[in-house]
Structure 1
Amino acid sequence: MKIDMLGPFSAAIAGVPITPSARKPRRILALLALHAGQAVPVSAVVDEVWGAAAAPKAHITVQTYVLQLRNFIGQALKDPRAARDVLVTRPGSYALLVGEGTVDVHAYDRLCAQGQSAFETGDDAAAAALFREALALWKGRALDGVQDGPALGLEAMRLEQSRTDVLERCLTAELRLGAGERLLPELSALAEEHPHHEALHGLLMTALARSGRVSGALSVYETVTARLDERFGLLPSPDLLRLGRELRERAGQASHHA
């Protein structure tokens, strides 16, 4: 089985799609896939699908949806009975039992954890490689095509924030490895995509400065600080202020020697 959640939600067995077209069974499959290998209480499924609007017998409807999912799985496996070993009923809960590496979110989280360990120990080459491998799993917006309930909505938010954080750490590691010039197109695009993200702008400023474009780095600094003031009424963070001050000093020294 292969389940993709880092982009358009899809599930397939040996290339045969098993993703329901109906919204509620699709949401149940996504919830079970997110917690693959773990028992998910029926009450959690009901909360995810209906929330406070759940009918007294919503658990019976959940049973119907689970049967539909088992039918999809059984058809793909060409063995309806085998589906019960994949989507398992347990006391008061259901579990989706799949192999390691089946769900892209789980692979992503593993790679991110390994990359973070390397990053924290100063192994920038390993960190950058692991982070790039993790980021390559993304194919669009997290859980695209799944109507969010409380758990899936929070997970989508977590994943999107993680994606930005991991990208920032990856670029930091690559900059420390001396990849400033090569990263300029990517950093420029990211700064445009995230016009108020201080850390990404700081990385762009650093890459520009290391490429000999101190005036360009100062221009980026002035742009992002003006945006922060206009949009939020905020001053730049201490790190960005310090970087701006260092760039001004470099520009002044260059002007003095010219």
Structure 2
Amino acid sequence: MHSDPAVWHGPDNGHGTAGHRAGGQTTFTLLGPLEVLKDGTDYAPTAPKVLQLLAMLLLRPGKLVQIDSIVEELWADDPPRSVRTTMQTYVYQLRKCIEQNELAPAGDELLITKHAGYVFTVDPAQIDVFTFQRLFQEGRELLDRDHYTDAARSLRAALALWTGPPMANVNCGSVLSSYVVDLQEQRRTAQHLRIHAELEAGWHRELIGELRALVAANPLDEGMHGQLMRVLSRSGRRSDALATYRNLRAVLNEELGVEPCEELQRLHHELLSAGETPR
């Protein structure tokens, strides 16, 4: 079977070990296009199946990625008759390109074959997904301890790692698509918590413009509407906060035939009462 050639971006420096030994550490991005970065150059493969395989390996660094899982991702319910041989060809191409671009002294040291699958022996700290999750968790813990400014800083750092939709240049099958959905939910939660931390830190006026844009882009997101209502109220704009609720209620009624959630209804009642600033 003819396979796609594994092409890695970036020049061959032609100096043997200079790139790997003298250059910086290789890092991998998944929060946006999949990139393999060394000294500012992207060496990610362009062959679609090799890129898919690399994404699968990067999401489980240092852990076994089962052959069955790779087959499901790459071919779903229609694998070729020579599926094992074809998959081994992609693994060979990935190893060869690791060596050619001096990302490791030897491809089989970085990508190890096991009986039931493959292990990609990179440090999770080299992969942006795991840096994001570490900073995200750190921010949550700081928020739980009411350290709002520090929590906001950690959550902003986590969100700054995103450059677009996860694995934007990868043709995701069923396995990777489920990872993409999960990562997008993690990003949404981190954004919500970051805004909450900044709100509690007293930066409500600075948040109004951003939240108006987020609400416009997510007209059915009740959590974002609630945050906008709070920052408007704390900025002395109670009438605008009430208008935000009315607009959301109209959209929910028209689109889904439902009322705003109980939390937002309580917030609305608080705003309607004698000018109490809702907490």
1:194 aligns to what? Answer: 218
2:51 aligns to what? Answer: 26
Q: Which of 128, 133, 152 pairs up with 1:128?
A: 152
Label 1:46 to 1:78 Cα distance change in 2 as closer, same or farther (>3 A).
Answer: closer
CA distance in 2, matches of 1:20, 1:78: 13
Q: Which of 131, 139, 142 pairs up with 2:163?
A: 139
Percent identity among equivalent residues? 33
2:23 aligns to what? Answer: none
Q: C-alpha offsets along residues 115-153 of structure 1, whole Å, 9 cap, x if unaligned?
A: 112222322222211111100100011110111112210
2:106 aligns to what? Answer: 82
1:222 aligns to what? Answer: 246
Q: C-alpha offsets along residues 84-130 of structure 1, whole Å, 9 cap, x if unaligned?
A: 11111122211111134211001111111111122223222222111
Question: Aligned with 2:119: secondary structure?
Answer: strand
Gaps of 5+ in 1: 254-258
Gaps of 5+ in 2: 1-25
CA distance in 1, matches of 2:244, 2:112: 55
CA RMSD of aligned residues (A): 1.6
Tell me if the contact between 1:31 and 1:45 (Cα under 8 Å) persists in the aligned partners.
yes
CA distance in 2, matches of 1:36, 1:195: 37
The residue identity in structure 2 corresponding to 1:153 is S
CA distance in 2, matches of 1:88, 1:154: 25
2:14 aligns to what? Answer: none
1:211 aligns with 2:235: yes
Question: Aligned with 2:273: secondary structure?
Answer: helix
- Give the paired residue count: 251
2:89 aligns to what? Answer: 64
CA distance in 1, matches of 2:93, 2:219: 45
Question: Aligned with 1:53: secondary structure?
Answer: coil
CA distance in 2, matches of 1:44, 1:67: 18
CA distance in 1, matches of 2:37, 2:158: 21
2:34 aligns to what? Answer: 9
1:237 aligns to what? Answer: 261
| Alignment TM-score, normalising by the size of structure 1 | 0.92
1:52 aligns to what? Answer: 77
User: Counting helix residues as a fraction of each chain, which structure ranks higher?
Assistant: 1
CA distance in 2, matches of 1:135, 1:92: 35
Q: Which of 120, 124, 142 pairs up with 1:118?
A: 142
Tell me if the contact between 2:136 and 2:158 (Cα under 8 Å) persists in the aligned partners.
yes
Q: Which of 48, 51, 68 pairs up with 1:43?
A: 68
CA distance in 2, matches of 1:18, 1:138: 19
The residue identity in structure 2 corresponding to 1:107 is T
1:256 aligns to what? Answer: none
Tell me if the contact between 2:95 and 2:108 (Cα under 8 Å) persists in the aligned partners.
yes
Q: C-alpha offsets along residues 28-77 of structure 1, whole Å, 9 cap, x if unaligned?
A: 00110111111111111111101111134312111000111111111111
Tell me if the contact between 1:5 and 1:143 (Cα under 8 Å) persists in the aligned partners.
yes
The residue identity in structure 2 corresponding to 1:30 is A
CA distance in 2, matches of 1:15, 1:179: 35
The residue identity in structure 2 corresponding to 1:210 is R
CA distance in 1, matches of 2:101, 2:187: 32
Deviation at 1:25, TM superposition (A): 0.9
Deviation at 1:16, TM superposition (A): 4.3
| Alignment TM-score, normalising by the size of structure 2 | 0.86
CA distance in 2, matches of 1:228, 1:11: 43
Question: Aligned with 2:177: secondary structure?
Answer: helix
CA distance in 2, matches of 1:236, 1:19: 45
